[in-house]
Structure 1
Amino acid sequence: MIVVVIVICLTLTVDQQKTARLQAHTSSIERLSTYKHGIASWWGYACMASLMIPPSDLFIAAGTKNDMAWLRNSQLMMGVATTILVIYFSLAFMPAIHCSFKPKTRLSYWKALHSYYFLFPVSKQERHWWVLLSLTAGICEEIFFRGFLLQFIHGQSHASWYLDLNLALVLSALVFGICHYYQGISGIVRTTVGGLLFGLLTILTNSLWLPILLHVLVDLAVLLIYKPQQDSPEAAKRLMAGCEPESVRSDILT
Structure 2
Amino acid sequence: MRANEIVAPRNSDERKAPAQIASWNRLVGFLLIGAGVVVLGFLAQHTSSAGNGTGGQLASHRQAIPIYLGAILMDWALFYYCWSSVHHYGGSLWTLSGGRWLSWKDVLLDMGIMVPFLVIWEGTAYGVSKLMDGTAAPGSAKTVDSLLPQSLIEILIWIATSITAGVCEEMAFRGFLQRQLHALSGNIAVAVLGQGLVFGLFHSYQGWRNVVVISVLGMLYGALVAWRRNLRVNIVAHAFTDVWEGWLKFVVWRVA
TM-score of the two chains, using structure 2 as the length reference: 0.63
- What residue is the counterpart of 1:249 in the other structure? none
Structure 2: distance between partners of 1:93 and 1:167:
21
Matched, 1:204 2:201: no
- What residue is the counterpart of 2:247 in the other structure? 223
Deviation at 1:118, TM superposition (A): 2.6
Calculate percent identity across the aligned residue pairs.
23
Query: What per-residue deviation string (whole Å, max 9, x for no partner) do you get for residues 6-31 of structure 1?
Result: 32033113354456568525445411
Letter of the structure 1 residue corresponding to residue 249 of structure 2: I
Deviation at 1:205, TM superposition (A): 1.3
Note closer, same or farther for the CA distance 1:50–1:135 as it changes in structure 2 (3 Å cut). same
TM-score of the two chains, using structure 1 as the length reference: 0.63
- What residue is the counterpart of 1:100 in the other structure? none
- Give the secondary structure class of the aligned counterpart of 2:146: coil
Note closer, same or farther for the CA distance 1:154–1:60 as it changes in structure 2 (3 Å cut). same
- What residue is the counterpart of 1:9 in the other structure? 35
Note closer, same or farther for the CA distance 1:162–1:193 as it changes in structure 2 (3 Å cut). closer
Q: What is the root-mean-square deviation of aligned Cα atoms in Å?
A: 3.0
Structure 2: distance between partners of 1:35 and 1:129:
7
Which 5+ residue runs of structure 2 have no aligned equivalent?
1-26, 50-54, 100-113, 127-141
- What residue is the counterpart of 2:197 in the other structure? 174
More helix as a share of residues: 1
Which 5+ residue runs of structure 1 have no aligned equivalent?
62-81, 95-113, 156-160, 232-254
- What residue is the counterpart of 2:74 in the other structure? 41
Correspondence list, 1:133-212, <5 A: 133-155=161-183, 161-212=184-235
Structure 2: distance between partners of 1:86 and 1:223:
16
Structure 1 residue corresponding to 2:147, chosen from 119, 125, 128: 119
- What residue is the counterpart of 1:32 in the other structure? 65
Deviation at 1:87, TM superposition (A): 4.1
Deviation at 1:92, TM superposition (A): 7.3
Letter of the structure 2 residue corresponding to residue 193 of structure 1: V
Deviation at 1:140, TM superposition (A): 0.7
- Give the secondary structure class of the aligned counterpart of 1:211: helix
Residue correspondences, number: 184
